[in-house]
Amino acid sequence: MTPIKKIGLFTSGSDSPGMNAAIRAVVRTAIYYDIEVAGIRRGYEGMINGDIVPMDTKSVSNIIQRGGTMLKTGSSEQFKTTEGRKLAYDQLKKNNIDALVALGGNGTFKGAKEFGEEYPDIAIVGLPCTIDNDLRGTDFTIGYDTAINTVIEAVDKIRETAESHDRLFIVEVMGRDSGMIALRTGIGVGAEAIMVPETRSDINALFERLEKGRKDKTSKIVMVAEGDEPGGAFEIGRAIQEKYPNYDTRVSVLGHIQRGGKPTCMDRVLASRLGVAAVEALKDGHTGEMVGLIHNSIMFTPFGQSVKHLHDVNAEFIRIVEMLSL
Ligand code: F6P
């Protein structure tokens, strides 16, 4: 096994709070082991364009507490083509990069898998960074804890005004294909109902839930993941208003505030642990895998298996919401 000499590090796809803490951990661990490290800016697009900058201990000072990503991010249509990946490979070779650490989610790992199969001389490992917490191979993704804390802070405020006005709020949270944000925060805010894309939720089931609830409740919160089938929060709001003209209904879409903000301590620690593990994994000859944390231990999952798991909703969570929102 030839020792790794230079790691290229990049963030790709949607940003998530804690990416900077992971960047810091990868850079400093590489330096600790005398491995050179370079930052590839703007994900796969930057790799194709050779947007590559040297990184040292100082370049990652004071970033552990910041949301976003200092390396910038985005997706690349060009990288989905064999020609695009060839251009990226040539740039890596030109910059003497012999290993990669990819920070991102589903789309990032799909790209990493194809690239790793086409160019096995460049080792590549991934770190799970997405607020959606929708990857196999890790209990939690980097950014999820911060996002759910942002959500409960916002919805606690919504609850206060809902209570004052005797209103029903439909709150839409992120999760195009995943209800993990809606599920946990639904429990955390004491929601009356949760609607997630992984389970068949129809509007009549929601009406039933609302009818079952205590009649003297003055406020109600329905948490909806943006990808839920009956449509987004506005669709649901319209349907509720039609069925129950007496409910004073309001809709609140939390949107991209969920993607920003200072990472929580849990996310900083997760990012630091996984960042260290990624560099050590490359040193030990790992490639084609995502580094995650399962039951508090570092685990490796092949990229092909780490992609989104759409139907694994914890039924216990739904049951808890139904039991506790009496
Ligand atoms: O992947 C995270 C995520 O937050 C999804 O839940 C959401 O649908 C998506 O990003 C939106 O991202 P953008 O607005 O950047 O396309």
- Which DSSP string do the residues of 92-107 spell out, in sequence order? HHHTT--EEEEEESHH
φ, ψ (nearest 5 deg) of residue 305 = -100, -10
Catalytic (active site) residue 15: no
Does domain 144-259 correspond to CATH entry 3.30.470.20?
no
Give the C-alpha distances (Å, rounded to integers) separating 2 from 5, 112, 283.
9, 21, 9
One fold for both 6-143+263-306 and 144-259? Answer: yes
Q: Say yes or no to pLDDT of 216 above 90.
A: no
Q: Is 172 in the pocket of ligand 1 (CB under 6 A)?
A: no
Query: Distance between CA atoms of 197 and 244, rounded to whole angstroms?
Result: 24
Residues recorded for the chain: 326
Q: Give the pLDDT band (50/70/90) at residue 124.
A: very high
Q: Give the pLDDT band (50/70/90) at residue 138.
A: very high
Query: pLDDT tens digits for 263-278?
Result: 999 999 999 999 999 9
Q: Is 175 in the pocket of ligand 1 (CB under 6 A)?
A: yes
**What is the model's pLDDT at position 206?**
87
Looking at ligand 1, which residue's alpha carbon is closest to its atom 9? 176
- Local structure of 227: helix, strand or coil: coil
> Which residues are CB-contacts of 290 (< 8 A; sequence separation ≥ 6)?
109, 125, 126, 127, 128, 135, 137, 138, 300, 301, 302, 303, 306
How far is Cα of residue 46 from the mean position of the Cα atoms in its chain? 21
**What is the model's pLDDT at position 308?**
65
Give the C-alpha distances (Å, rounded to integers) separating 130 from 76, 86, 281.
17, 27, 21
Q: What is the full DSSP assignment across 30-72? A: HHHTT-EEEEETTHHHHHHHT-EEE--GGGGTT-TT--S-TT-
Q: Say yes or no to pLDDT of 181 above 70.
A: yes
Q: Which of 29, 35, 28 is nearest to 56 (CA)?
A: 28
**What is the model's pLDDT at position 71?**
98
Query: Distance between CA atoms of 65 and 20, rounded to whole angstroms?
Result: 8
CATH topology of domain 6-143+263-306: Rossmann fold (3.40.50)
**Measured in angstroms, how far is the CA atom of residue 144 from the centroid of ligand 1?**
13
Domain residue ranges in the chain: 6-143+263-306, 144-259
Q: Is 14 in the pocket of ligand 1 (CB under 6 A)?
A: yes
DSSP state of 78: G
Query: pLDDT tens digits for 311-323?
Result: 567 778 888 888 8
